[in-house]
Structure 1
Amino acid sequence: MNFGAVSAIYKAEMARFFRTLLQSFISPVISTSLYFVVFGSAIGGRIQEVEGIPYAAFIVPGLVMLSVMTQATSNASFAIYFPKFIGTMYEYLSAPISFFEVTLGFVGAAATKALFIGLVILATATLFVDLTILHPVSMLAFLILTCVSFSLLGFIIGIWAKNFEQLQLIPLLVITPLVFLGGSFYSISMLPPAWQIVTRFNPVVYLISGFRWSFFGQADVPIGVSLLAISGFTALCLGIIWLIFRTGWRIRS
């Protein structure tokens, strides 16, 4: 393992993040506050509780997951696309480092950024609601796994994209709708039986359900299934990245 190379990539990406630290933190804080005003106050005034949990507290895990998934994907996709765009990707390919080390540096930095933002949103949420986390270790584990898995997905998107428009296509048209339809602001048990079956084909349901369980001890799907889903998704992304570097798809042309 070339730790020097991994550290260099990681530090370079984190330095870019800290140069825009203020806007990186201010934006999610404002967005979270607006969600609480709209969903927590307006809708929460009509829906007092969901499965015995105050609605304003119930939506916190969904808000965190929404931001973490989109931020992890966007950060990782831009980080690997930019070297392709300016031509420095060939330096990584010719350097004595493996694809795993390149991936570890970029994905590690993107996951760290998303984790920071997730914790900032969680801290912001405590200003609006009384929040108790029943399983803090599990909460942190789910948060880190989600950051890593969606950073891997973003890494794949960054390699796939041919322009900046495609770079935003998947996060806007796929990930964000899946999060909203994945039980972020409601329990899937509130849906008609037929739609409950359809919703279970949404992989984000399992992530949000497991993350919500770590807060309140309640989940729409078994916690073991949630862990299996996110582990399988992470393994799939790693396999795709290995295949990309093995074949040179979209990185050697």
Structure 2
Amino acid sequence: MTIPFYKYQGTGNDFVMIDDRKRHFDSQNLALIQQLCNRRLGIGSDGLIVLREAEGYDFEMTYFNADGSQSMCGNGARCAVSYAYYLGMCGTKTRFLAVDGPHEATIQGSEVRLEMIPVRSFRQVEGDTFINTGAPHHVKYVENLPHFPVVREGAKIRYNKEVYPEGTNVNFVMPISDDTIQVRTYERGVEDETLSCGTGVTACALLYGKEKGIEEVTILTKGGTLKVCFKPDGMGGFEQIELIGPAQQVFSGTIHIKLEELAAV
């Protein structure tokens, strides 16, 4: 079969985009999704996003990690908004549906401001913090982050079945100033460090902002700079959360897949 696609990236987090308004794409075929995301045998990406029409919304975004598992993805959602705008599915303001519920977003040039779901609680885990921002995140402060072994130490936490039976994303944080942090993330489903993680930097920014008593945090990632704005909800949680950063179309094309060979990959 021949599949047309677009490739997008948001601060280095890259995604294969599928326009499935005609519902021809088999999103139940995990081997197909895995091959499309494979950097040697397919297009190559951290994840794959399918856009479809949804009643009451401009569109619905379904996100798959590179291993075929589903989750929410902040950078992916920002790229999905940019792609939907390119396709004419929405205007500069949009309301769309994702796995964690409805979201709103605005586009200004290459910048996308994405409204995240409210976060009502977080908890301490072995001296670090666990928080869910649409996807599960373990947040750990470290020193000398540029030289920290993110993959090795992230995998230890991600696969600690006693603490996280279903696994978790793992973020390592180093403060830069009172309103700026550097973050590196080991992503569950990619099973590697990614250049940026939207839900991950949101998790880190909320916790750092609460600690510093501020409502806007700048986050430096390997792939670029993001901002997170939020308001305290008065009950220890957070609301009016926005993830802000660039989303860019990289290229488009078609890929030819022999379905009978997928099982062997």
Higher relative contact order (CA 8 A, sep 6+): 1
Same fold? TM cut 0.5: no
The alignment's TM-score, normalised by the length of structure 2, stands at: 0.26
Which structure shows the bigger proportion of residues in helix conformation? 1
Counting strand residues as a fraction of each chain, which structure ranks higher? 2
Q: Which has the larger radius of gyration?
A: 1
